[in-house]
Amino acid sequence: MQGEPIVILLVGDDPSHAEIVMRNFKDSRIANRVIHVSDGQEALDYLYRRDAYSQPDSSPRPGVVLLDLRLPKIDGLEVLKTVKEDSNLKNIPVVVLTTSNAETDIAKAYNNCANSYLVKPVDFQQFSKLLEAIGFYWLAWNQHPSI
């Protein structure tokens, strides 16, 4: 990977999934900082630097958002829509990482400008392989403008 590691904003309410993501990135030697928030409101607070995230030094702009759809407080699709409608945030890649393979969810995500839609496999080994692929694609191989 070239340049500075980017910040990954992981938005999901399942702490065990968050731990698996963080552990897998570490095991794959993907040297990026992962910031985990557990609901849609907290994700927007982080992105808009509100409340506990008001200091830019402690809430750096993420280079990619991994977003679950089923979130407390504010739904993931609403978070996605808000991000993609904001001229200051819309260039941040948002990867939907969810358990839903419902065609309506996929269509809604892409209609709201999701950069990718990935379904979490139930099998731990397959989930780990998916995370490794995410890491290499979005964090090492994909080219993106400086944010």
Residue ranges of the domains in the chain? 7-140
pLDDT of residue 146: 63
Give pLDDT < 50 ranges for the chain.
1
**Rounded distance between C-alpha atoms, residue 49 and residue 130, angstroms:** 30
Query: Which of 140, 142, 131 has the alpha carbon at shortest distance from 4?
Result: 140
pLDDT of residue 105: 97
Is the CB of residue 28 less than 8 Å from the CB of residue 132? yes
Q: How far apart are the first and last CA of the chain?
A: 17
Q: pLDDT tens digits, residue range 14-43?
A: 998 899 888 887 877 766 788 999 999 999
Fold designation for 7-140: Rossmann fold (3.40.50)
pLDDT of residue 130: 87
pLDDT of residue 144: 66
Any idea which residue has 């904003």 for tokens?
Answer: 9
38 token code pair: 């557990």
pLDDT of residue 128: 84
As beta bridge partners, residue 8 has 34, 64
pLDDT of residue 39: 97
45 token code pair: 């607070």
Neighbours of 86 (CB within 10 A): 14
* Phi, psi (degrees; rounded to nearest 5) at 14: -100, 105
CA atoms within 13 A on the CB side of 109: 26
pLDDT of residue 1: 41
Q: Are strands 33-37 and 116-119 parallel, antiparallel or unpaired?
A: unpaired
